Amino acid sequence: MSIEKDINQKNFKDAFQKAYINLMFTNNWMLNQTKSWFKEHGVTHQQYNVLRILRGSHPNCMNPGSIKDVMIDKSPDLTRLIDRLIEKKYVQRETCGSNRRKVDVIITQEGLDKLKQLDPLEEEMKNMFNNLTDDEAETLSNLLDRLRGSVA
C-alpha cells in the first residue's frame, strides 16, 4: 500500500511533507505491530529497550543517565520505568561504589531470562522488512541516519 491510500490523502504540499507523514505513519504502524507482542510477555517496548541496554553492559552496572542516553524512546520518567522493572525482578538498583549518593542499575538473572523469551520476537520484527532487500534496508538505514544528522 501507499501512504496516499493508507491515510486517504492524494496531495501533499511537497515531497518532504509526504516523507515526514510517511515516516510518522510507519513508525506508529511498527509500534502497533510490536505492542501486542510485548503485552503478551508483560513488558512495554520501553522496558524491553532498557533490558536490552542492560544486557549489553552485563555483568556491569549502568547509571540511569547512561541508560537514557542510549534509549530509543527517551522516556521522560526513567525512574518509574526502572521501578516497574524492579517490581518484576528484572533489574535491581545498587549503590555506586565510587559515589554513595549515586545509584546504578543492573539486570538480574530473571531479566536475562525474560530477554531469552523475547529474543525470538526480533525475527518477527525483522519480518516487517520482508518487502525490502538487504541493500534497500541498508539504504533506508543510511537515509534515516542522514536525516537525523540534518538537525543539530
**In CATH, what number is assigned to the domain containing residue 106?**
1.10.10.10
Q: Report, as ranges of residue numbers, the positions in the chain whose pLDDT lies below 70.
A: 75, 96-97, 99, 150-152
pLDDT of the residue at 76:
73
Three-state DSSP class for residue 107 = strand
Q: Could you list the residue range(s) of the whole structural domain that residue 85 is in?
A: 43-122
All cell numbers assigned to 99: 559515589
Q: According to the model, what pLDDT value does residue 90 have? A: 98
For residues 115 and 55, is the Cβ–Cβ distance under 8 A?
A: yes
Indicate the SS3 state at residue 12.
coil
Domain count, the chain: 1
pTM (2 decimals)? 0.83
In a domain, 36, yes or no: no
Dist CA 126 CA 128 (whole Å): 5
The predicted pLDDT at position 133 comes to: 94
